[in-house]
Structure 1
Amino acid sequence: MSVLNGTLVHPDCRHFRGDIPCRPNKEHGYQCAGCPVYAPVQQRILIIKLGAIGDVIRTTPLLRRLRQEYPNSKITWLTLTPAILPAGAIDEILRLDLPSVLHLQAREFDLLFNLDKDKEACALHDSIRATQKFGYTLHPNGVAWPGNQLANHKFLTGVFDELSQQNQKPYVQEIFELCGYEFRHEEYVFDTHQDKGYDWAALPAGRPRIGLNTGCGDRWTTRLWSDEKWIALIDKLQNAGYAPVLLGGTAEDERNQRLHAATGAAYLGTFPLEQFINLMYQMDGIVTQVTMAMHISIALQKPTILMNNIFNPYEFDLYGRGQLVQPDRACVCFYRGSCQLGTSCMEELPAEKVFEAVRSSVHAPSLSS
């Protein structure tokens, strides 16, 4: 509490901005003296999770535990992708840039969680003042290093393939344990963007919509499934009473145009991220490989049929919705972008296997004989 020129000011209030009027003042004319929504911050918490988008999304369950443990806290999140975070669940979302770094280095926090091994994230862990710190620090040799023993497991599985392959903990559980918490299957915190009023009149109606995310990014192309496999899956879905909907970004547009022309499966085109998220929200189930759409699907609590080959299957928690399916031939290309055998084992994943996973996860109104 401070008094400036005879006016009471609460800089410790969650609503207080310091540079502009707070929302209660703007909307209701409240001032600090006698303010009915005064909310003093008891803990200041900083999360450093920069990217990629999928990793940011699957870190959001931590917000549920922090709100439970510290209901009167102010949570700040530093990231490279602020638009993906649910603004209503986080008090302050900052993009990683020089102004944010200077700002954070002048502040002090009660808890700091650095969940990235990027060198800039580790340097921030070391340079920002906090009473307790969790996650990764910067080793004197200039590389990431566990900040305490809680970070050892996640650190080691990230630097040795053999340990990563032996790991049987889902990513979210590893993150919780790194922060000193037991994972209790807290759900993601995510914005469906349903309030935006997007018009989806062109979507098929009257049948369960199965979103088919046909791409996987350009880093690990060993995950790609051929057009022939997608066409076979689409035919099976259509014959069983489902309505397949092709999903993807600009990188998948050409493929999706081909698949649409070959099968008549619905394809509405490409969209900005928020609209794409809401399009996925319209689906009754999602078929995807390990990519951003997988994280979005899980966050939207959709039955997710996850096609995986090069990653440890224990890494993924589908929260009891959907199934993980893998090729009939064991993959030997752990975290590799090109296949050591010349032909990706994804071609050994039959369309029938994916279809059966859809059928057991999303009820179809009628099945062909």
Structure 2
Amino acid sequence: MCGDCPVYEPVTKRILLIKLGAIGDVIRTTPLLRRLRQEYPGCYITWLTLTPAILPQGQIEEILKFDYASALQLQARQFDIAINLDKEKEACALLLNVQAPSKFGYTLRPYDGVPWPINELADHKYLTGVFDQLSLGNTKPYVQEIFELCGFDFRGEEYVFDTHDDKGYNWAPLPPASAGPRIGLNTGCGDRWTTRLWSTEKWIALIQQLQAAGYAPVLLGGEAEHPRNLELQAATGAAYLGTFPLPHFINLMNQMQGIVTQVTMGMHISIALRKPTILMNNIFNPHEFDLYGRGQLVQPNRQCVCFYRGTCRLGTSCMEDLPAEKVFEAVVASVPQ
């Protein structure tokens, strides 16, 4: 009807990106969007995930929730490029069956159903996920690894993320700017690797040091952290606004001038929001995390011997050897008054 339409922009490449979960891993895959747009101007990106709400709406042409209907129709379509970054069998099977001349990541070996690198670009990331000794020796951040898996060099591309500032949330209960820089304290770490947990006593000590130095601590967390945050609020008077749906929580974090967090979803959100991130780490390879030059990674004074373990071999987690003073000094260095 409009053969001479002046705003028509034909699609140059159709790209399928499969990254199902978890939420944090989905967030830290978004830098790929920037490079794909640069390498393939006019491309049409389809992203398949278990958590579509976390992806930036308006920045991706098609966001699909992983279910039977989505998998069925994707296998009937043609793409120029298909990328699968998950080793789950269902994701690998989809890359195997989808129609695309260029494929990257992990596929499924048809004869035995084993997830497998589709080409040598995926070997490094595959092997570090299988063998602890290789994972311990790895010096590449996760984002660099997935860029190389796709045949790109990593140039410091930032996350693509929605701050939800347009929602008009009321943050009047937060400490005012006159109270000092707001430091969000993300006090939980999920229930899979509880060796990462920091004790209530350590959190109280950190809060008191921050308050004495003129910072305004704000407790952050979900339902699992709610009882602990109420306890910390009662003991220190630190601000705590409760729990919120994910977009609301993301925007709350965006009101902070710095974030103290474990390796958890809050860490990925903080990095995506470009906040100075003070990352407490013990059981993971510290090279895995790229803070983009904002913030610091702090670790216990005792060497951790529980790489990727949910229970401590020594009975007492080395996180008890991470003093509050060490975290406090990282905050001061990262978020000056």
- Superposition TM-score tier, normalisation by shorter sequence: over 0.9
Question: 63, 68, 75: which is aligned to 1:105?
Answer: 75
Q: Give the match for residue 197 of structure 1.
A: 168
Picking from 225, 232, 236, the partner of 1:252 is 225
Q: Does 1:36 align with 2:9?
A: no
Aligned-pair identity in percent equals 77
Asked if 1:147 is matched to 2:145, the reply is no
Instruction: Show the counterpart of 1:19.
Output: none
Aligned to 1:89: 59
Give the aligned partner of residue 38 of structure 2: 68
Question: Which among 107, 117, 139 is matched to residue 87 of structure 2?
Answer: 117
Alignment of 1:154-193 (within 5 A): 154-193=125-164
TM-score under structure 2 normalisation? 0.98
Q: Secondary structure at the match of 2:107?
A: strand
Matches within 5 A, 1:1-369: 8=1, 32-139=2-109, 140-205=111-176, 206=178, 207-364=180-337
Deviations 1:211-242 (A, max 9, x none): 00000000000000000000000000000000
Supply the distance in 2 between the matched residues of 1:107 and 1:144 (Cα, whole angstroms).
22
For residues 67-124 of structure 1, the C-alpha deviation after alignment (integer angstroms, 9 at most, x for no partner) is 0011111000000000000112100000001111111011000000101101000000
Equivalent-residue separation in structure 2 for 1:165 and 1:87 (angstroms): 36
Q: CA deviation at 1:131?
A: 1.1
CA-based RMSD = 0.6
Amino acid at match of 1:162: Q
Q: Quick one: distance in 2 between partners of 1:160 and 1:98?
A: 32
**Structure 2 residue matching 1:172: 3-state secondary structure:** helix
Unmatched segments (≥5 aa) in structure 1:
1-7, 9-31, 365-369
**Cα offset, 1:36, TM superposition:** 2.7
SS in 2 for 1:294: helix
Quote how far apart the aligned CAs of 1:189 are: 0.3
- Offset of residue 259 of structure 1: 0.1
Q: 1:33: Cα distance to partner?
A: 3.4
- Whole-angstrom CA distance in 1 between matches of 2:266 and 2:325: 22
How far is 1:135 from its partner? 0.3
The 3-state SS of whatever aligns with 1:45 is strand
Bigger Cα Rg: 1
TM value normalised by structure 1: 0.90
Where do 5+ consecutive residues of structure 2 fail to align? none
Deviation at 1:37, TM superposition (A): 1.8
User: Residues 262-314 of structure 1, C-alpha deviation per residue, up to 9 Å, x if partnerless?
Assistant: 00000000000000000000000000000000000000000000000000000
How many matched pairs?
334
What SS does the aligned partner of 2:184 have? Answer: strand
1:257 Cα shift?
0.1
Whole-Å separation in 1 of the counterparts to 2:308 and 2:145: 19
Structure 2 distance, partners of 1:36, 1:99, is: 35
4+ runs of 1 displaced by more than 2 Å? 32-36
Distance in 2, matches of 1:81 and 1:319, equals 25
